[in-house]
Structure 1
Amino acid sequence: NGTIFLLLEDEWGFINIVVPSFLVEKNSEVVKFATFVVVKGRFEKDGNVLNVIGEKFKELNVRPLEHTARSFR
Structure 2
Amino acid sequence: MSLGDKIGNKAEDLGGKAKEAAGKATGDDELRAEGQADQAKAGLKDAVENVKDAVGDAVDKVRGVLKKD
Under a length normalisation based on structure 1, what TM-score does the superposition of the two structures give?
Answer: 0.27
Whose helix proportion is higher, 1 or 2? Answer: 2
Bigger relative CO (Cα 8 Å, ≥ 6 apart): 2
Whose strand proportion is higher, 1 or 2? Answer: 1
Larger-gyration structure (1/2) = 2
